[in-house]
Structure 1
């Protein structure tokens, strides 16, 4: 026995939809992008849309270009820097020694009081 529900297993809006219900699709153009790992991705764009120069590869995530002979190089990732590394970029050793001596003299002066 079916249980009396005539539309069991369906939902509102489900069913075969064709171009008659959705409208006609825009004319498309397929563009190939090549990444440095040798992957090719071919997304489709509307013909009147602006085609981007690069497209991220869906397989490896590297940027892909439209020239198969010269794909874009992978982006260079900077290593993690500590706070001390950033300080050393801004200050020379002489500046650091002067700041340290100033802090130590203030500390010694506060202990003497």
Structure 2
């Protein structure tokens, strides 16, 4: 005979979870979303007043955005390559701006006697 503990190996809330214990399920609507890779997913949403079905859904297989129009799925996001700090600075400043800032900084160092 086992140790005498009737709920051994159980956890709080475990047991048969039929509709009798859980209650009635809410009415649902299934919406099919299609991504650019041809995957489709069918999440369900509550069919209640005020519930808005999103226009786009992330594909669980590839992560691309998915839409409800099978013939025109949303375009995949454009992946920007990694940029260094210098690349961002070069986007904001021209070569003449850079030369002026460099000369300004060098003059400040000369004034303080740190460089000749």
Calculate the TM-score normalised by the size of structure 1.
Answer: 0.88
Two-structure CA RMSD over aligned residues (Å): 1.8
Unaligned 5+ residue runs, structure 2?
A: none
What is the aligned partner in structure 2 of residue 51 from structure 1?
Answer: 53
What is the aligned partner in structure 2 of residue 37 from structure 1?
Answer: 37
In 1: Cα distance, 2:60 partner to 2:100 partner = 53
What is the aligned partner in structure 1 of residue 20 from structure 2?
Answer: 20
Could you tell me how far 1:112 is from its partner in structure 2? 7.1
Q: Which segment is superposed worse, 22-31 or 6-15?
A: 6-15
Within 5 A, what are the aligned runs for 1:1-113? Answer: 1-48=1-48, 49-109=51-111, 110-111=113-114
In 2: Cα distance, 1:73 partner to 1:33 partner = 13
- Alpha carbons of 1:112 and 1:74: their partners in 2 closer, same or farther (altered >3 Å)? closer
Could you tell me how far 1:28 is from its partner in structure 2? 0.8
